[in-house]
């Protein structure tokens, strides 16, 4: 995205850079905003566990969300402290977690190297590669119009995307389609982890609402959604076969191609009412 007037104050996770090129057949030179992408190391009780490439904003949310969705802790209450430090090589998030969680982590410790376009980020066994969440028992119901309402309003909340054109977003929405929380990152998994962490830290009743993402829905997106007890995930783009299989097994209603009043239901259609209604009400 090419901006002639740079916004002030700057958006977290973005920096300026010089850019030149062709536009409309004319050569241009200007200053543009680009999204930051840095290595972020997650260290548990002094032991390095994962290095992800992420946007350097809302990183405490990211640490909490990653820890919970990866099953490193059972709840955010088992994270006692998070210390963030920065060097020329990247950012370190040092977490102090409950001793029982750390002992479990050591038992299944693995090395991860996350990439912003990754599916799974590396495991040392097939059993670890596809972890099935516990089946959900909620009877929550949703209206298709509420999903459409939330997705229609996400764009205006995506400040980093508006400046750089280079980020994904994940939002937690009430059953009525009101966006309560939204987080952004260059990586779609990271955006969802940031959202899950922010919701956990705010003690939101996430089981009563749904998740909306501006990306495709892969297995890990479904797995992370289910791990938080959320029963509906709506994606702007398509879904993968493994995402559908996982959603069916754990009871998540999985929606893809949710744009305007359109959406496709890939699992648990009994949880969503498909009547067309006015998006403004």
Residues 83 and 168 occupy one common structural domain: no
Which residue's structure tokens are 């479990």?
104
pLDDT score recorded for residue 8 = 52
Residues 83 and 113 occupy one common structural domain: yes
Q: Is the pTM of this model over 0.85?
A: yes
pLDDT score recorded for residue 280 = 53
Domain ranges, residue 45: 38-129
The two three-digit tokens of residue 97, written as one number = 């977690």
pLDDT score recorded for residue 114 = 45
Residues 152 and 246 occupy one common structural domain: yes
Q: Is residue 14 part of a domain?
A: no
pLDDT score recorded for residue 124 = 53
Measured between its terminal Cα atoms, the distance across the chain in Å is 33
Q: Is residue 278 part of a domain?
A: no
Residues in a beta bridge with 232: 253
Q: pLDDT under 70 in the chain at which residues?
A: 1-9, 109-129, 276-281
Residues 149 and 211 occupy one common structural domain: yes
Q: Is residue 12 part of a domain?
A: no
The two three-digit tokens of residue 214, written as one number = 């501006």
Q: Which helix or strand (DSSP H or E) is residue 64 part of?
A: helix 59-69
pLDDT score recorded for residue 194 = 98
Q: Which of 129, 157, 177 is the last residue of a domain?
A: 129
Q: Which of 105, 129, 153 is the last residue of a domain?
A: 129
pLDDT score recorded for residue 116 = 46
CA 71 to CA 69: how far, in whole Å?
5
CA 275: distance to chain centroid?
Answer: 28
Residues 162 and 85 occupy one common structural domain: no
Peptide bond before 15: cis, by omega within 30 degrees of 0?
Answer: no
pLDDT score recorded for residue 131 = 74
Residues 120 and 157 occupy one common structural domain: no
pLDDT score recorded for residue 120 = 46
118 counts as catalytic: yes
Residues 163 and 93 occupy one common structural domain: no
Q: Which of 88, 104, 129 is the last residue of a domain?
A: 129
User: Buried b vs exposed e over 46-81: b needs ≥16 C-beta within 10 Å?
Assistant: eeebbbbbbbbbbbbbbbbbbbbbbebbeebebbee
Residues 148 and 267 occupy one common structural domain: yes
Catalytic residue among 68, 101, 118, 249: 118
Q: Total domain count for the chain?
A: 2
Residues 75 and 180 occupy one common structural domain: no
Residues 84 and 51 occupy one common structural domain: yes
CATH of the domain at 68: 3.10.20.10
**pLDDT for 70-88, tens place per residue?**
999 999 999 999 999 999 9
Peptide bond before 9: cis, by omega within 30 degrees of 0?
Answer: yes
């Amino acid at each position: 995205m090419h901006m002639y007037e740079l916004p002030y104050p700057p958006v977290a996770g973005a920096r300026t850079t010089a850019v030149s090129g062709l536009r409309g057949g004319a050569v241009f030179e200007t200053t543009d905003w680009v999204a930051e992408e840095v290595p972020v190391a997650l260290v548990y009780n002094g032991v390095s566990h994962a290095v992800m490439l992420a946007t350097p904003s809302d990183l405490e949310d990211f640490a909490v969300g990653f820890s919970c969705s990866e099953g490193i802790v059972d709840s955010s209450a088992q994270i006692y402290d998070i210390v963030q430090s920065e060097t020329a090589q990247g950012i370190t998030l040092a977490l102090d977690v409950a001793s029982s969680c750390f002992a479990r982590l050591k038992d299944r410790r693995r090395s991860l190297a996350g990439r912003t376009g990754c599916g799974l980020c590396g495991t040392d066994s097939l059993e670890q590669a596809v972890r099935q969440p516990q089946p959900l028992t909620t009877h929550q119901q949703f209206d298709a119009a509420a999903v459409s309402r939330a997705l229609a309003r996400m764009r205006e909340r995506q400040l980093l995307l508006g400046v750089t054109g280079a980020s994904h977003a994940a939002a937690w929405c009430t059953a009525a389609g009101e966006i309560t929380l939204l987080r952004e990152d260059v990586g779609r998994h990271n955006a969802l982890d940031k959202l899950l962490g922010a919701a956990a830290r705010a003690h939101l009743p996430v089981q009563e609402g749904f998740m909306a993402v501006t990306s495709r829905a892969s297995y890990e997106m479904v797995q992370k959604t289910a791990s938080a007890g959320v029963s509906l995930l709506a994606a702007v783009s398509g879904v993968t076969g493994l995402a559908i299989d996982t959603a069916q097994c754990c009871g998540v209603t999985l929606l893809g191609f949710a744009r305007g009043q359109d959406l496709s239901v890939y699992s648990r259609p009994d949880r969503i009412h498909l009547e067309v209604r006015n998006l403004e009400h």
